[in-house]
């Protein structure tokens, strides 16, 4: 996959995904759990370094797929510390052009289950586009979305938190296959919790949108399932598509919160596309270094590019898309 390292964000930003599957709200017994590990969070700049899947029938694992992937760019020290995947580990692994067709064959048309599913689905979809493969059309269920509705009072809904609070395991290894195993167990546990407590999906998904006093939004109708709702954002660098104040307005209009700097309460640090590209090549701002340190220390914070921010907020529709 020559050339993936090139920063081609201007031409590939905010890709339309016309064949992307639907985010479902179902408690299925037959599905396929998927997870990927990557060199970063932006499919326009970053690469997949591990991909895994577990086929589930009647709630039980029946088959699994797992492969390391050799990227064209170096794996950064931060990603190695986060995932445990080093450049030496992937040196003799196949490239994504070999692994992804095998993965797509394994999952077939199954409904997918993943934690923070839009990340995995969008990343895989974009690489099918890049490699001229059939697009990923599978519908999917997001355990992050489900857990936020079932356990709204938890401090966060990271996979590690679910695993701990649902007594799945004491630790989480940040690797694709182990994340699949834990996501499968968490999904089955949440299904059991819903049944044991006589909850219904209709009740869990009732819309209670009211405007928080701390959010100065231009609407009081919030989508509680949005990945932006209730999350704290900080920005650094110059945005390509709009002034920072307009991006901050989009956040609060979606029920999110904007902060001036990076703190332990920050959930997302947004880098302008040019700054994200520079960061891949080794230049990082003090905000980004602080965010990475907090993430390594276990805080619920992630650094994302401007492109990923627009994906999260649906801003490509506001800007007319590509």
Q: Nearest CA to 137 among 172, 104, 89?
A: 104
Question: So which residues are the catalytic ones?
Answer: 174
Q: Are 53 and 81 within 8 A, CB to CB?
A: no
Three-state DSSP string of the chain: CCCCCCCCHHHHCCCCCCCCCCEECCCCCCEEEEEEEECCCCCCCCCEEEEEEEEEECCEEEEEEEEECCCCCCCCHHHHHHHCCCHHHHCCCCCHHHHHHHHHHHHCCCCEEECCHHHHHHHHHHHHHHCCCCCCCCCEEEHHHHHHHHCCCCCCCCHHHHHHHCCCCCCCCCCHHHHHHHHHHHHHHHHHHHHHCCCCHHHHCCCCCCCCCCCCCCCCCCCCCCCCCCCEEEEECCCCCCCHHHHHHHHHHCCCEECCCCCCCCCEEEECHHHHHHHHCCCCCHHHHHHHHHHHCCCCCEEEEHHHHHHHHCHHHHCCCC
How far is Cα 133 from Cα 99, in angstroms, rounded to an integer?
12
Q: Nearest CA to 142 among 57, 35, 56?
A: 35
Residue 245: CB atoms within 10 A of its CB come to 10
């Amino acid at each position: 996959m020559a050339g993936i390292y090139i920063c081609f964000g201007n031409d590939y930003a905010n890709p339309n995904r016309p064949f992307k599957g639907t985010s479902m709200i179902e408690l299925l017994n037959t599905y396929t759990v998927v997870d990927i590990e990557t060199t970063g969070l932006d499919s326009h700049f970053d690469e997949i370094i591990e991909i895994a899947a577990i086929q589930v029938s009647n709630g039980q694992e029946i088959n699994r797929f797992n492969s390391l992937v050799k990227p064209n760019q170096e794996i950064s020290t931060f990603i190695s510390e986060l995932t445990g995947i080093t450049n030496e580990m992937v040196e003799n692994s196949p490239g994504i052009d070999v692994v992804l067709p095998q993965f797509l064959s394994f999952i077939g048309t199954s409904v997918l289950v993943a934690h923070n599913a839009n990340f995995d689905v969008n990343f895989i979809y974009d690489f099918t586009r890049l490699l001229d493969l059939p697009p990923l059309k599978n519908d999917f269920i997001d355990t992050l979305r489900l857990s936020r509705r079932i356990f709204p009072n938890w401090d966060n809904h990271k996979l590690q938190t679910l695993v701990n609070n649902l007594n799945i395991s004491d630790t989480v290894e940040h690797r694709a296959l182990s994340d699949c195993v834990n996501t499968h167990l968490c999904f089955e546990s949440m299904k059991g919790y819903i049944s044991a407590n006589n909850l219904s999906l209709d009740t869990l998904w009732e819309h209670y949108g009211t405007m928080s006093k701390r959010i100065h939004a231009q609407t009081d109708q919030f989508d509680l399932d949005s990945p932006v709702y209730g999350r704290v954002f900080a920005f650094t660098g110059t945005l390509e598509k709009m002034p920072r104040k307009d991006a901050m307005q989009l956040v609060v209009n979606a029920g999110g919160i904007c902060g001036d700097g990076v703190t332990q309460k920050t959930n997302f640090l947004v880098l302008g596309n040019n700054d994200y590209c520079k960061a891949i090549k080794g230049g990082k701002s003090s905000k980004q270094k602080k965010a990475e340190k907090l993430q390594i220390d276990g805080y619920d914070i992630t650094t994302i590019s401007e492109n990923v921010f627009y994906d999260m907020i649906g801003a490509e529709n506001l800007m007319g898309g590509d």
